[in-house]
Amino acid sequence: MNLRVKIGIGFAAVALATAAAVAIAIPPIVGHGFTQLQADAASQDPGSGPGAGQGRGNGPGPNAGAHAAEIQQDTMIALILVALGAALAASVIGFAVAGRMARPLTQLADASRRVAAGDLGQRSGLAGRSDEFGEVGRSFDEMAADLQRSDQERRRFIQDAVHELRTPLTVIDGTAGALEEGIFAVEPRHLRTIREHTQLLSRIVDDLRTIGLAEAGQLQFERERVELSDALTATAGAFEARAKAESVDIEIQCPPGLAVETDPHRLRQVVAALTDNALRHTPAHGRVRLVAEGTAAAVRISVEDTGAGIPPEDLPYVFDRFYQADPSRDRRTGTSGLGLSIVRALVDAQGGRVGAENRTGGGARVWLELPTSA
């Protein structure tokens, strides 16, 4: 029931209870007063029988008026006492009703204090209500769940970042120490190892910076009209040598004239990240397809592979930072583990969206959608 209706019913119930108490008490009180007045008048009537004129007040003198005033005063006092009693009873009922109505607020305030103290698993317990308290409770629960999820993601990100940074640092430190102590001879291959892992550290730092700027809305986009066929052809050309070395074919499917207003450099960065990801998961003699299609409102770019696909339990997390379906978290490919996270950050910053799914018949499809115009 609507909260306003409940409050209105509560006030009406209190008012009706007060009015009913007064209405019930008034007739006997007033009737008693009139009975006394009539009895007094009868006793003072000269024609009322023996002793006429000898009743209380001894005739219709000043004592009769005083007695009538006394009866009127007693009646008023009785009415006032009844009204005060009814008001007191109504107040008690009102406090009880108010306490019942305020209980959800107290419950919500307690849950808020617990969440503020760090208990992010706390919930309001009001989600089952159908009134405004229920709406507030559900909103609070959603907020608490978002905070809990963000906190879990933050903790996992810190752990993953430490893991990803520690590996190249350990290699660099170990190789440099071995060279310094004479365990390794100063050879180009050892220096190359140090350089490769230094470059990996640099890529991780740069990728994290890009993601941070994009998520904060501080990344600048130089927008212009970009022909998608040209962008996809350029990306395929950049990966042609690698694909040929791995015996993988790259195909392009894009209708002529399809264009989008975006930053061409960022678009190439996003498509390259998706293509790199697809190549790393496509076996020899497989195929990677770059597909573009669009409507008047948005364009979709999909990168498909013929690999083993993405385990269903991993699909919701493929765009998370450092996430890999492979538990070994191998970085021998020289990747930072942030490619798809950068894709999501750059696309989100332009008002688009991303997604991943498994293809019927095998392989995976990772896609992004961008609005046709900024």
Q: Please list the residues that pair with 364 across neighbouring strands.
A: 358
Question: What are the extents of the domains in the chain?
Answer: 3-116, 151-215, 224-371
Question: Among 140, 123, 135, 96, which residue's Cα sits nearest to residue 2?
Answer: 135
- pLDDT of 61 over the 80 cut: no
- pLDDT of 59 over the 50 cut: no
Give the 3-state DSSP-derived string for 239-277, with helices as H, strands as E and coil as C.
Answer: CHHHHHHCCCEEEEECCCCCEEEECHHHHHHHHHHHHHH
Q: How far apart are CA 15 and CA 4, in angstroms?
A: 16
Residue corresponding to tokens 């005083």: 66
Q: How far apart are CA 261 and CA 223, in angstroms?
A: 6
Q: Please list the residues that pair with 249 across neighbouring strands.
A: 287
Question: Among 365, 354, 329, which residue's Cα sits nearest to residue 164?
Answer: 329
Say if residues 294 and 288 touch (Cβ distance below 8 Å): no
Strand-strand pairing, 298-304 and 364-371: antiparallel
Question: Among 366, 252, 228, 354, which residue's Cα sits nearest to residue 305?
Answer: 366
**Of 120-134, 160-174, 256-270, highest mean pLDDT:** 256-270
- pLDDT of 126 over the 70 cut: yes
Report domain 224-371's class.
alpha beta
Mean pLDDT score, 8-13: 68
The confidence score (pLDDT) of residue 302 equals 96
Q: Can you read off the two tokens belonging to residue 161? A: 């970042």
> What is the CATH code for 151-215?
1.10.287.130
The count of other CB atoms within 10 Å of the CB of residue 286 is 19
Q: Can you read off the two tokens belonging to residue 50? A: 């023996």
Average pLDDT, the chain: 81
pLDDT digits (tens, 9 = 90+) for 155-192: 877 777 777 788 788 888 998 999 888 888 888 888 88
The confidence score (pLDDT) of residue 241 equals 92
* Whole-prediction pTM: 0.58
Starting at the earlier edge strand, list the strands of the sheet with 364-371. 249-253, 287-294, 298-304, 364-371, 353-358
List, in order, residues 6 or more apart from 6 with CB less than 8 Å away.
101, 131
In this structure, what are the phi and psi dihedrals at residue 350, rounded to the nearest 5 degrees? -105, 15
Ranges 258-267, 329-338, 339-348: which has the least confidence: 329-338
Q: To 10 degrees, what angle do helices 188-215 and 339-349 make?
A: 30
Question: Among 311, 316, 307, 318, which residue's Cα sits nearest to residue 361?
Answer: 307
Q: How far apart are CA 206 and CA 345, in angstroms?
A: 14
Residues in the chain: 374
Taking phi over 0 as left and psi of -120 to 50 as alpha, with beta for the rest, 249 belongs to beta
21-55 b/e (C-beta count within 10 Å ≥ 16 → b): beeebeeebeeebeebeeebeebbeeeeeeeeeeb
Q: What percent of the chain lies above the pLDDT cut of 90? A: 29
pLDDT digits (tens, 9 = 90+) for 207-240: 888 888 888 888 888 999 999 999 999 999 999 9
